[in-house]
């Protein structure tokens, strides 16, 4: 007989999320490859007028997460970043991205 205890039902995947808050896109959770496609669909419908990305509730990012953020930042024409989740600084340096997630020019 299955247990009624939700913690015994197997792993629960708590995905990343994005919401619009004024001139910001507010991201939460871990921005990882598994969530990028869904986040892309959600974020691209909310880009008009976005001037900053709030990453304060993001726990970490991988290379796919950084690619998502950089592509969205490019569509916004430049943004400000609030927050520095684990992995962002290292990946930004590895891909030679500016603090605003644009590609650095020589």
Q: Could you give the CA distance from residue 58 to residue 54 in angstroms, rounded to a whole number?
A: 9
Q: Taking 80 as the threshold, does the pLDDT of residue 7 lie above it?
A: no
Query: Nearest 5°: phi and psi at 51?
Result: -120, -10
Percent of the chain at pLDDT exceeding 70: 86
Q: Taking 90 as the threshold, does the pLDDT of residue 41 lie above it?
A: yes
pLDDT for 8: 38
Q: 15 or 38: whose pLDDT is higher?
A: 38
Contacts (Cβ under 8 Å, ≥6 apart) of 40: 68, 71, 72
Query: pTM for this one?
Result: 0.84
Q: 43 or 6: whose pLDDT is higher?
A: 43
The CA R_g of the chain, rounded to the nearest whole Å, is 16
SS3 state of residue 91: helix
pLDDT for 50: 97
């Amino acid at each position: 007989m299955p247990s009624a205890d939700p913690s015994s039902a197997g792993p629960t995947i708590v995905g990343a999320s994005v919401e619009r808050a004024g001139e910001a896109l507010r991201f939460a959770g871990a921005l990882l490859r598994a969530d990028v496609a869904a986040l892309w669909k959600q974020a691209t419908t909310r880009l008009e007028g976005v001037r900053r990305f709030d990453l304060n509730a993001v726990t970490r990012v991988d290379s796919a997460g950084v690619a998502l953020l950089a592509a969205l930042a490019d569509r916004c024409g430049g943004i400000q970043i609030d927050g520095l989740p684990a992995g962002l600084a290292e990946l930004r340096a590895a891909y030679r991205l500016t603090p605003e997630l644009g590609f650095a020019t020589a």
